[in-house]
Structure 1
Amino acid sequence: MVSEHAAQVLVASNRGPVTYTLEENGELTAKRGGGGLVSGLSAIGDDADALWVCAALGDGDREAVRRGVGEPGVRMLDIDPQVHADAYNGIANSVLWFVHHMLYQTPLEPAFGPEFRAQWASYETYNRAFAEALAESAAAGAAVLVQDYHLALVPGMLRELRPDLRIGHFSHTPWAPVDYFRMLPDDVAEQLLRGILGADRAAFLTGRWADAFTECCVAVLGGTTGTRIGVHGLGADADFLRERSRRADVEERLVALREQIGGSGDRKVIVRVDRTELSKNIVRGLLAYRELLESRPEWRERVVHVAFAYPSRQDLSVYRDYTAEVQRVADEINSRFGVEGWTPVVLHVKDDFARSLAAYRLADVALVNPIRDGMNLVAKEVPVVSDEGCALVLSREAGAYEELGEDAIVVNPYDVTGTAAALHAALTMPLEERAERTKRLAAAATALPPAQWFLDQLRALG
């Protein structure tokens, strides 16, 4: 049954544009988020009959749904908390993320047994809840844009319920190569591919990920069964970043960071800003910096590594262990090389967007060395807001490499010695060359800003 006020454009994602907090006095407070989807939906205008379908993620969200509290244009689904936990942490984050980022230690993992099968049933239930809500909320012939690996089964389920809809699916992660993807149980691999192929169009951040998906479809199913494949390389929002990075709170953080860096203002600064995510390769980045200080002692007391490693998925033990290792290696470098007046690694683990922007502005070198990354917006954001121009050391395994590789210093993310050499090359790059490269990097990074990225997908559905 279609609802009375049916929407013409729908977005579906695990996380929505608003989150609710239940205060001690029983009041609910709402906090709105940003990002490409928010920008995109804003760009189509308030009169476009748009709806965002998302999951209630915490107690505040669930209470808001129960009380009937909500934002215009947002439908939040109160899915059973255990079903959501199994689908989100058990399957999406602990299986699909690991497969697409090739993170498994294969002598021991994965081992797909009864626990996996129970969690997979929850993943199916979770996806079905989204498909049913979208089917109920969409006007005849509406356009539906389904987001990411959390909702890979939704297009196929929705197609069965509402064959009249125009459905797109967008993958924000890499896509695993065939041999790695086929680590999944055969029936699950097939179900995932058929789920996405329920869309009229499946889109990816780079041609490389799109090709990998197509190769999986050919190997497992014999082809893509008429689904069109597209590529949309999400860019940085230049206007927002430039305006936001000049606000008073960022200026305050700049002063504080300069104090932590110390020296008389002539120290070079290597910056990284990441979630403490296994694929971001923070530990090897620190080891490369340690090797730089070891093999090129002339950099001691002349460079500081400002590393922001913001906590991610701390409810999973493997992430807690990784976060602890980041801290341990940073402490070891400071203990080994630090002297009075010079702390080699300035590590921050509390998320602070204003401080991240301040670091972008200060950076002489940006280190972005993921093992594997769908895109990596940090690589695109730093050149946009850098005050003096910034050399970019970039992993060839980041999706951003396709667009930025020509003007970056490119590294193999597993090669610590090679990354140390790249850091030295970046630190010694002539200022004029650095400025020219930064200009070209910023132009490439902002070629497809978030609103345009969203609208292009919408237009491509026809």
Structure 2
Amino acid sequence: MASTHGAEVLVASNRGPVSYEVRPDGGAGSLHAKRGGGGLVSGLSAIGPDANAVWVCAALGDADREAVRRAEGGLLPAEDTGGQRVRMLDIDAGVFSDAYNGIANSVLWFVHHMLYQTPLEPVFDAEFRRRWASYQAYNRAFAEALAEEAADGAAVVIQDYHLALAPRMLRELRPDLRIGHFSHTPWAPPDYFRLLPDDIAAELLGGILGADRAAFLTRRWADAFRDCCHAVLGSPGIPAGTRVGVHGLGADADFLRERAHRPDVTERMAALREEIGEGRRTIVRVDRTELSKNIVRGLLAYRQLLDDHPEWRERVVHVAFAYPSRQDLAVYRDYTAEVRRVADDINASYGTEGWTPVVLHVKDDFARSLAAYRLADVALVNPIRDGMNLVAKEVPVVSDEGCALVLSREAGAFEELGEDALTVNPYDIQGTATALHQALTMPAHERAERAKRLSAAATALPPAQWFLDQLHALDENRPG
């Protein structure tokens, strides 16, 4: 397939740097563009406006689809995207739902995070196969769009488990391209990965192996991928033309520190202090209500702390932000409801007229999250399994007094932060309660020193450099 547009650098991801909403006033001009942030946005900004880059993403809702129609399937208006060149794909809504909810989030996410209750699930039946066909079609739409947009020999960086098949599909369309795939999730070990039907497991691995380079957040996940390739595909597993790399994504310190001192954050700090009460210590967590984040066990560990150490009653508050995620899936709605139930139960059992043990917020508010970061004495990050977990890196960077970090050994961030964190087994509620007590009683000078080292480790590879390193690694694959 020949190039028609000639982009030299391309990024592909399910979610793009801009989304649309319909303003309540309606009318022909009612579409409103909202720009996002994150590592990819920072990375593309780092390569500069002359790099001739294009970002390919999916339309996620009706407003996005209307924006694609207005752009006639081409690049979105530059005024909507902050000057970035973005092509949004209007994939059939049914195909998108099957691929995104039916496969990516209900199968691949569960496999890589090892979340299945295996006596009952998974069930790979005819309905699964129908959805898998949609996942293939979704990946093919991305591959075809990338093939159309890419210049000869361009660098393409494809993101995450949503697009595991796209590298191989793109390679078949455009063998001249330099293709990378980056996994932001953990990678399952072979015994768990092989819950998938054999042909599906092989297709997923083969899809990623269509890239020149498969990259992961930690060595642990990269090694698990290698092990799966050997177990499923046999020797040699990974072909000579594909390399496996590691790029640990760090926190964007400059952005976080500047953003955390804006007036809206200061206002929210005042409101949080009023909710917490004068002179009390704070245990802070900020998560989406994804099943892997382990919020319920974190709450149970806090309740265990209050039981084991009643001296902390009325002296500490657990500030828990649990922002709804994937609420179109029933299992996530049920989990969010359980988070609320456990928090309410703790408050009913232990609360007093002047003390609310758990301050729970479920409406997403980034400024309020930063306010909590600044107030944190202890950060609780206890995922069952996490590709990295940027919250573990962000809180030490932002906290005003330096916080102690209670960190799950199953978070990817443990590889970089474990030495200065208090490490926990995420399933061990008693052990997590003990770690919370240790964090609360840690001498101020030790806490400050640990936080300083945590902050340095957390910012060692900022998002822009993380992205540029992937491009440079693809350059090393260039013939000659």
Q: TM-score, normalised by structure 2?
A: 0.95
Instruction: Output aligned runs, 1:108-123, within 5 Å.
Output: 108-123=120-135
Alignment partner for residue 25 of structure 1, among 24, 27, 33? 27
Q: Which residue does the alignment assign to 1:312?
A: 325
1:64/1:70 contact within 8 Å kept: no
Of stretches 440-449 and 63-72 in structure 1, the one that deviates more from structure 2 is 63-72
* Residue correspondences, number: 460
Q: Could you tell me how far 1:5 is from its partner in structure 2?
A: 2.7
- C-alpha separation in 1, matches of 2:27 and 2:88: 23
User: Aligned with 1:47: secondary structure?
Assistant: helix
The structural deviation recorded for 1:440 is: 0.2
Cα shift readout 1:108-159 (whole Å, capped 9, x = no counterpart): 0001001100000000000000000001110000000000000000000000
Please state if 1:459 is matched with 2:472. yes
* 1:226-268 CA-partner distances (Å, limit 9, x unpaired): 2100000000000000000000000000000000001x3x211
Moved more, 94-103 or 27-36: 27-36
* Structure 1 gaps, min length 5: none
Local SS of the residue matching 2:51? coil
Match of 1:34 in 2: 37
Deviation at 1:70, TM superposition (A): 3.2
| Partners of 1:197 and 1:435 in 2: CA distance | 44
Question: Match for 1:225 among 205, 222, 239?
Answer: 239
SS of residue matched to 1:124: helix
**What percentage of aligned pairs have identical amino acids?**
81
1:272 aligns to what SS in structure 2? strand
Residue of structure 1 in register with 2:478 after alignment: none
1:70 aligns to 2:77 (yes or no): yes
Q: CA RMSD in A?
A: 0.8
TM-aligned CA deviation for residue 6 of structure 1: 1.1
* Residue of structure 2 in register with 1:7 after alignment: 7
Cα distance in 2 between the residues matched to 1:49 and 1:406? 41
Unaligned runs of 5+ in 2: 79-83, 476-480
Q: Distance in 2 between matches of 1:151 and 1:39?
A: 21
Question: Counterpart of 2:397 in structure 1: which amino acid?
Answer: V
1:3 positional shift: 4.5
Query: 2: CA distance between counterparts of 1:70 and 1:335?
Result: 52
Distance 1:430 1:62 in 2: 55
1:57 matched residue in structure 2:
60
Give 1:438's aligned residue: 451
Q: Structure 1 CA distance, aligned partners of 2:326 and 2:286?
A: 16
Q: Which amino acid aligns with 2:194?
A: R
Q: Give 3-state SS (helix, strand or coil) of 2:119's partner.
A: coil
Query: How is 1:350-365 mapped onto 2 (pairs within 5 angstroms)?
Result: 350-365=363-378
1:425 corresponding residue in structure 2: 438
Alignment of 1:144-183 (within 5 A): 144-183=156-195
Q: State the shift of 1:4 in Å.
A: 3.7
Determine if the alignment matches structure 1 residue 141 to structure 2 residue 148.
no
2:110 aligned with 1:98, yes or no? yes
C-alpha contact 1:204 1:230 (8 A) present in aligned 2: yes
Counterpart in the other structure of 2:143? 131
TM-superposition CA deviations, 1:421-458 (whole Å, max 9, x none) = 00000000000000000000000000000000000000
Per-residue CA shift, 1:376-435, capped at 9, x if unaligned?
A: 000000000110010000000000000000000000000000000000000000000000
The aligned amino acid for 2:266 is E
Displacement of 1:22 in angstroms is: 2.4
Are 2:290 and 1:277 aligned? yes
Q: Read off the aligned partner of 2:292 and give its amino acid letter.
A: S
Answer yes or no: is 1:240 the counterpart of 2:247: no
Contact 1:2 1:137 in 2 (8 A): no
- 1:202 has 2:209 as partner: no
